Structure 1
Amino acid sequence: MWNIHPDVLVTDLDDELVLLHPLRSEMFSLNAAGGVIWRALPGTAEALVAALTDAFDVTTAEAEADVDALLRELAARDLVRRS
């Protein structure tokens, strides 16, 4: 299960989400696909893949690769955590 770090602040700018980790003073921007994944949190990787394939015309393999890459990036920036 993937969870959002409790200190992360989110600003919705319609076509993108901007995440701010106040303890690290870092901002991170998500495009529409990243926003779909973010809004599906908390969730399992499988649930996030399903959310992405429901929202966009992508294959399961493409969605799995995108979800995996985004979760690795978000985890490296301490924006999400695996429980």
Structure 2
Amino acid sequence: MSVGDDGGDDVRLSLVKPMTDEQVPEQRLSPDGLGRAQRRGDACASCAKRWPRPRRPLGRLDDGTVLYVCDQCAPGLEMAQDESRGDSPAS
């Protein structure tokens, strides 16, 4: 929505920048156990919360759809991924 050249405000509907392919983890995930909103990227892939809309990319489904997690679930998933790779926190 935009107001003409009469000096009015320019209102943009896009609030979040689209991600580039390089910003999405290469991890491929199974859609098994995910609801429709989770599979579309409209809900957190971990807790299924829809609002605020999840923004952190988790990986992709086999069809290329990006799965997202919310800010509350992201730290726990990052720690789990680090442990599965054998990374340990610095002591």
TM-score (norm 1): 0.28
Larger radius of gyration: 2
RCO comparison, higher one (Cα < 8 Å, 6+): 1
Larger helix proportion, structure 1 or 2?
A: 1
